[in-house]
Amino acid sequence: AQSVSQHNHHVILSEAASLELGCNYSYGGTVNLFWYVQYPGQHLQLLLKYFSGDPLVKGIKGFEAEFIKSKFSFNLRKPSVQWSDTAEYFCAVNDPWGGSQGNLIFGKGTKLSVKP
Amino acid sequence: KAGVTQTPRYLIKTRGQQVTLSCSPISGHRSVSWYQQTPGQGLQFLFEYFSETQRNKGNFPGRFSGRQFSNSRSEMNVSTLELGDSALYLCASSLGSGLKNEQFFGPGTRLTVL
C-alpha cells in the first residue's frame, strides 16, 4: 500500500536559514503530490501541489518543492525562513488505486520551529 | 466565502457511547472527505462522499460511518466508542471528486473518549 515518509519529526532553525524538508512516497506510478501546512491554531492549508509537468513547483509564501521521480521524493524548500513559518508541515500523495483525491495519504508531519 | 465549518469543535464522551460529527462544506463544493488525526498514526483517511454517495472508504472498522445530504453537508458517526477513538476529526471539501480538485480543510472536531 502507498505510504509517505517524512524524515524529520522536528526541525529547529534560526531566521534566514534555508529549509529543506524531506518527503518520500512508496508507490512508483503516476502520483499527485502535495504539501500542506498547519500554523498554530489554524486549519490545514495547501502550500503547493504537483500533478505533472515542471518538477519544480512553486507555492505560496516563497515555498517550492522538487519532484524527483527516480527517488520517489518531493522535498519542500525555502531559501530563507521567517519566524512566521513556524508550523507543522505535511506531505501527502493521492492514492492512485482509489480513483479519487479523497484518498490522500499523509506523512506523519514535520514540526518546524524558527527562532527569531 | 465562508470556509469549511465543523461542529461541535470539542466533544467529550465515554466508552460505549456513540457520537455524530457534522461538516458543512464550502458553498458549491460537492465532495466531502473525513480524516482522523492522532499523534501516533497521523492523518488517516476515513471516507469520501460525493453527491450523497460514498466514493471511497479507508481502513477503519464498521463503527465509523458517514453520510452526505443533498445540500452537501456531511455527518460522520462513531458507534460504541473506544478510548482509541480519541482524536481530531477533520473534514475537507472540494468542488468535485476528481484527482485534481484541491481539498479545503475545516478546523476539526476534537473528540475525547473517557
Mode of pairing for the β-strands spanning A24-25 and A4-5 = antiparallel
Confidence of residue A41 (pLDDT cuts 50, 70, 90): confident
The phi and psi torsions of B97 (rounded to 5 degrees) equal -110, 10
SS3 A112: strand
Spell out the residues 6+ positions from residue A69 whose beta carbon is closer than 8 angstroms to its own: A28, A55
User: Which residues of chain A have a CB within 8 Å of the CB of B48?
Assistant: 100, 102-103
Closest alpha carbon to B38 in B71, B79, B84, B5: B84
Q: What is the pLDDT of residue A32?
A: 87
Residue A31 touches partner B, C-beta closer than 8 Å: no
- Count the neighbouring beta carbons within 10 Å of the beta carbon of residue A44: 24
What is the pLDDT averaged over residues A8-30? Answer: 91
Residues of chain B contacting A47 with CB distance shorter than 8 Å = none
Which of 52-71 (B) contact A at CB < 8 A?
A: 55-56, 58
* Largest CA-CA distance found in chain B, in angstroms, rounded: 39
Does position A100 have pLDDT exceeding 60, yes or no? no
Cα B90 from Cα B21, distance rounded (Å): 10
Mutate to test the interface with B, among A89, A97, A101 (most CBs of B within 10 A): A101
The 10s digit of each residue's pLDDT in B6-56 is 999 999 999 999 999 999 999 999 999 999 999 888 999 999 999 999 988
Q: Which of A98-112, B79-93, B100-114 has the highest mean pLDDT?
A: B79-93
CB B52 within 8 A of CB B70: yes
Question: Can you tell me the distance from the alpha carbon of B74 to that of B34, in angstroms, rounded to the nearest whole number?
Answer: 9
The pLDDT score that the predictor gives to residue B95 is 87
* Closest by Cβ to A43, choosing from B58, B99, B106: B106
Q: Which residues contact B26 (CB under 8 A, 6 or more apart)?
A: B1, B2, B3, B4, B93, B104
Q: Is the pLDDT of residue A36 over 80?
A: yes
Cell of B8: 461541535
Lowest mean pLDDT among A67-76, A83-92, B23-32, B98-107: B98-107
pLDDT at B2 over 90: no
Lookup: cell for B6? 465543523
Q: pLDDT category, B96, cuts 50, 70, 90?
A: confident
To the nearest whole percent, how much of chain B has pLDDT over 70?
Answer: 96
Residues facing B77 on adjacent strands: B20, B65
Q: Is A51 part of the contact surface with chain B (CB cutoff 8 Å)?
A: yes
Check B56 against A106: CB less than 8 A apart. no
Residue B40 is predicted with a pLDDT of 87
Number of neighbouring beta carbons within 10 Å of residue A83: 11
Q: Give yes or no for residue A98 having a pLDDT over 90.
A: no
